[in-house]
Structures are given as structure tokens and as C-alpha cells.
Amino acid sequence: MKKISAILLMMICCGFFVLGQESVDLQKETAAVKAAALDYIEGWYEGSAERMARALHPALNKVGLRALRPGGKAVLTPLGYSIMVEYAAMGLGKDVPVEKRNISVTVLDIFKNIASVKTVSGQFIDYLSLAKMDGQWKIVNVLWEPAQ
């Protein structure tokens, strides 16, 4: 009986150790995913091509849902990696005062090497799809709409 109790105790302790490791890894991955999303949205507002490039995968597929005119037909406007890095470098987001940026990042889900994130700012609502490739979280898809 003592042998069974010792084995059960060892299994329980090992189970908690494994669960603890998974929890730490999830915290680590969540922080890394959030950092990539912040590089994207803060990089935009800071005019940092470096942060934008670090956040995005070169095969980025970004589309915005926009109306051509008020009450008009909605269209998807595509943007890619190069143009996003260039727009950041041009400082197109820097005109927005810091107090009006209202940036928030919500990690919606992480599964193995993929993640989903929502960023909200004074100008945009973005839904990001990320993939962990070569140890780095990169944004591969963005669907966005103006916040106003």
C-alpha cells in the first residue's frame, strides 16, 4: 500500500510540474504574441519601420474593409509587408496625439504555433493572425476597419 501511495504521490507531483511548465510556456508565448502586436500598432504610431518590420511576416496579407463614400458599397483594400513598413517609416501614424491613440491589445487565442489577436486604437480595429516561425511570432494576416 505504501508503494502505491508513493507512486501516486510522485505522479501527482509530476503532473503539477508539467502543468506548471505548460502554464509558464503559455505565459511566455502570450507575452511574445502581445509584443509582436504592440510592435505592429505602436510601430505605426511611432513611425518605426524597424518595429513594423519586426512584427510582420514578409508574406503579410492585410485588407481593410472600407466604404468608398458614406453609405456606399464596401470594398477590401489590400496592403502588404513593404507598403506597411514604408508607411510606418513615413510616419503616417505620428500625427495622432499620444492621448488619442488609446491602444489596447487582446490576445484572443493561442494554439501551438498560431495565435489570434485584437488591437484597438483611436483610428483602427485590427484582427491579427500570427504564426510562430523560426522561433518568432509574426503577423501573417490582418483584417481591419476604421474605428470611427
Average pLDDT of span 92-113? 96
Tell me the three cell numbers of residue 68.
468608398
Lowest mean pLDDT among 11-25, 38-52, 64-78, 132-146: 11-25
User: What global pTM score does this model have?
Assistant: 0.82
- Mean per-residue pLDDT of the chain: 88
Phi/psi at 116 (5° precision): -130, 135
Residue 12 pLDDT > 70: no
SS3 content of the chain, % helix, strand, coil (to 5): 45, 35, 20
Residue range 31-74, pLDDT digits in tens: 999 999 999 999 999 999 999 999 999 999 999 998 777 778 88
- How far is residue 120's CA from residue 126's CA, in Å, rounded to a whole number? 6
Residue range 106-131, pLDDT digits in tens: 999 999 999 999 999 999 999 999 99
Residue 114's pLDDT is: 98
- What's the total number of domains in the chain? 1
Residue 64's pLDDT is: 96
- How far is residue 81's CA from residue 69's CA, in Å, rounded to a whole number? 26
Q: Is 124 helix (H, G, I), strand (E, B) or coil?
A: strand
- What is the CATH number for 51? 3.10.450.50
- How far is residue 30's CA from residue 110's CA, in Å, rounded to a whole number? 7
Structural domain for 142, as ranges: 2-146
- For CA atoms 47, 126, 96, 101, the dihedral sign is negative
Residue 96 pLDDT > 60: yes
